[in-house]
Amino acid sequence: MSANYTGILWNPQKKVYDSVIAAGSIVYLGSFIGLHLILNPEITMETLIIRAFGTLALLMLHIILCIGPLCRINSVFLPLLYNRRHLGVSMFVMAAVHGIFNILQFHAGGDVNPLVSVFISSGHFPAAIHFPFQPLGFIALMILFLMAATSHDFWLKNLSPRVWKSLHMMVYVAYSLIIMHVVLGIIQLEKSPALIILLGIGLCTVIALHLMAALKTNRQDTAKNVYYSVTPSRDDDESVKGYILVGNIDDIPDNRAKIVHSGNESIAIFKYNNKFSAVSNVCKHQNGPLGEGKITADGCITCPWHGYQYRPEDGCSPPPFPEKVSTFQLLKKGEQIWVNSQPFPEGTFIEPLLIHPTNEN
Amino acid sequence: MIIELRRRHYYTWLTIGIILPIGFVWAVLNIPKMPRDNFNKTTVAAYPNVIQSKETSSLKVNLRQNTVMQSVMAQGALKGGYQIELTILKPLVGAANQLYLSTTADKPLQTVLGALGNRGTYYFPLPNTFTSESPLILTVYDAIKQKQTEQIVLKK
């Protein structure tokens, strides 16, 4: 996988992922519309479309927001994360259909511009039923539009991962606006409590998963000692001057890494095939934590977020991919591993540190 | 950077986890206590006597009276026994239409009778305080847009 945006790499996994999204959406819309036509044959087609697409977008948004924390809690969910953007764009399309039909049905018949009408057609803030819930949905839709429009790797590369990630974290604002849009809108007039209960369950699930994931990773960062507290070398020990202590050889499991921080650098030290190599902990794709990934059967470090790969000895992605990360010099002293916090230029080959040099001969 | 990102996520969700449930509960607790059930032909029988009728391009309204109640009222024991039969002839503009009853033109939203939905016929029993002597102003009001959709006045 690569951040190269010259073309969409359609692999079997992406095709399966998109097929499941399409099939699931069709089944949901068909079931929703069919059931409504049976139970409430008087309903108009416009209302049916608004409700069907609105509830589908809401359901998809909940699924999207659950994928991230689920992956942090259990790596078995990671395949769902790799193509999450496809689900996000699909969700935006559903939400856009809901929004467009709403504007056409409720705001296009007057003498005011329909978009202006969305913002001025209601507005008594103290009362929940009179709260202008439609602007909340409209603003959320604009945020989702921005995210969908910039979801391609082209924008990730040109905006920089930091800006791109910040922009896409706006989904949390959009989610909050959408929840209030629903609860101050249709729920104020809904006869059945089912929607309130389902929405409450969805909200609690999303919040609980995110907090659980945060607590788990926080424990990992501290108790499990993944992020190692920096121990600078002693001034009087010239042999390790400029290096920081990583730990003992046995601290790192095979094909895994330990992460240390020094100043602005976050360094992942991998152990594999009786060797150690150190690379930047920050993936070029979305700043994912390379050190939380592993070295796979092909000998490459694989980012746990989206599967981007790098060779441990030079930090380069395998051909034809162009991504490179910084590498770092390692030092072995007794049973201790030390790393120099000064990075080499991205893609610089550094001879791996052998754990037992004699065994290699 | 990664720790920073995690912290941002954590504090974002800590904030959402506090604010959003509060907003959710506030909105649910403030759901207006208004009738949400319609009375249609399948559940409510039409009162036998049609006293008055009026029709617009989208609505047809009959003021109906119960014969049994009429005889009781004739003895002066009770008021009431009236019913509004409202037929939606073509879809109303607005998503949340409520039918209001009023006896004075300056307060058209005096008493809410119930919710209106799709095309069809709805029945709303009138409050016991209403008598055939009262003027009858029926207002269809969109609770979302806070806008009057239709108004029908039945005069004595």
Residues of chain A positioned with their CB less than 8 A from the CB of B13: 172, 207, 210-211, 214
CA atoms within 13 A of residue A20's CA, in its CB half-sphere: 12
Which candidate, A99, A117, A98, places its Cα nearest to that of A108? A117
Q: Inspect the interface and report whether the beta carbons of B1 and A287 lie closer than 8 Å.
A: yes
Give the residue among A311, A294, A307, A204 at the shortest CA–CA distance from A254.
Answer: A294
Q: Is B22 helix (H, G, I), strand (E, B) or coil?
A: helix
Query: Is the model's pLDDT at A193 over the cut of 50?
Result: yes
Please calculate the CA angle B133-B139-B143 and round it to the nearest 5 degrees: 145
pLDDT of A21 over the 70 cut: yes
Chain A: closest CA distance from residue B71 (Å): 36
CB contact under 8 A, B12 and A40: no
**Residue A82: strand pairing partners:** none
Collapsing DSSP to helix, strand or coil, B69 comes out as helix
User: Is B28 in Cβ contact with A106 (below 8 Å)?
Assistant: no
Has residue B42 got a pLDDT over 90?
Answer: no
Cα(A226)–Cα(A264) distance, rounded to whole angstroms? 17
Interchain proximity A210–B13, CB inside 8 Å: yes
Three-class HEC string of chain A: CCCCCCCCCCCHHHHHHHHHHHHHHHHHHHHHHHHHHHHCCCCCHHHHHHHHHHHHHHHHHHHHHHHHHHHHHCHHHHHHHHCHHHHHHHHHHHHHHHHHHHHHHHHCCCCCCHHHHHHHCCCCCCCHHHCCHHHHHHHHHHHHHHHHHCCCHHHHHHHCHHHHHHHHCCHHHHHHHHHHHHHHCHHHHCCCCHHHHHHHHHHHHHHHHHHHHHHHHHHHHHCCCCEECCCECCCCCHHHCCEEEEEEHHHCCCCEEEEEEECCEEEEEEEECCEEEEEECECCCCCCEHHHCEECCCCCEECCCCCCEECCCCCECCCCCCCECCEECEEEECCEEEEECCCECCCCCCCCEECCHHHHC
A-chain CB neighbours of B40 within 8 Å are none
Give the SS3 label for residue B91. coil
Contact (CB<8Å) A180/B27? yes
Q: What is the pLDDT of residue A8?
A: 59
Burial state string for A197-231 with b = 16 or more CB within 10 A and e = fewer than 16: eebbebbeebbebbbebbeebeeebeeeebbbeee
Closest Cα of chain B to A148: distance in Å?
20
- How confident is the model at residue A279, as a pLDDT? 94
Q: Check whether A147 has a pLDDT greater than 70.
A: yes
Burial (Cβ within 10 Å: 0-12, 13-18, ≥19) of residue A266: buried
Query: Is A42's CB within 8 Å of B118's CB?
Result: yes
> Residue A320: is the preceding peptide bond cis (ω within 30°)?
yes
Paired residues of A257 in beta bridges: A270
Which range (A64-73, A83-92, A322-331, B114-123) has the least confidence?
B114-123
> Looking at CA atoms only, how far is residue A353 from chain B in angstroms?
26
User: What backbone torsions phi and psi does residue A353 show, to the nearest 5 degrees?
Assistant: -85, 120
Q: Which of B24, B37, B115 sits opposite A179 (nearest CB)?
A: B24
Question: How many Cβ atoms from other residues are within 10 Å of residue B46's Cβ?
Answer: 14
Establish whether this prediction's ipTM goes over 0.95.
Answer: no
Q: What percent of chain A has pLDDT over 90?
A: 39
Q: What are phi and psi of A291, to 5 degrees?
A: -65, -15
Q: Which of A106, A109, A196 sits opposite B28 (nearest CB)?
A: A196
Higher pLDDT, A325 or A9: A325
- Sign of the Cα pseudo-torsion (B104, B54, B95, A116, in order): negative
What band does A214 get if pLDDT is binned at 50, 70 and 90? confident
Give the span between the Cα atoms of A129 and A187, in whole angstroms: 9
Residues of B with Cβ-Cβ distance to A134 under 8 angstroms: 144
* Contact across the interface for B26 and A128, Cβ inside 8 Å: yes
pLDDT at A238 over 80: no
Residue-wise pLDDT tens digits, B58-96: 889 998 887 765 555 555 444 567 888 888 887 777 667
Nearest to A180 among B6, B13, B23 (CB): B23
Assess whether pLDDT exceeds 70 at residue A125. Answer: no
Chosen for mutation from B15, B31, B43, B98 (greatest number of chain A CBs closer than 10 Å) is B31
**Residue of chain A with shortest Cα separation from B34:** A189
Instruction: Work out the average pLDDT over A30-57.
Output: 90
Q: What is the pLDDT of residue B52?
A: 87
- Asked if residue B53 lies in contact with residue B86, where contact means CB atoms within 8 angstroms, the answer is no
Return the axis-axis angle of helices A171-184 and B2-29, rounded to nearest 10°: 10
Report the alpha-carbon distance of residue B143 to residue B153 in Å, rounded. 20
Chain B nearest CA to A88, separation (Å): 18
The confidence score (pLDDT) of residue A5 equals 52
Read off the pLDDT of each residue in A269-285 and give the average, rounded to a whole number.
90
Distance of CA A79 to the CA centre of its chain: 12
What percent of chain B is modeled with pLDDT above 90?
10
What is the C-alpha separation between B148 and B98, in angstroms, rounded?
A: 10
Most confident of A18-32, A237-251, B36-50: A18-32
Radius of gyration of chain A (CA): 26
Q: Which residue's entry shows tokens 């929004």?
A: A99
Contact call for residues A169 and B12 (beta carbons, < 8 A):
yes
Residues of chain A with Cβ-Cβ distance to B146 below 8 Å are 122, 124, 130
Q: Is B2 helix (H, G, I), strand (E, B) or coil?
A: helix
The answer to whether the CB atoms of B24 and A210 lie below 8 A apart is no
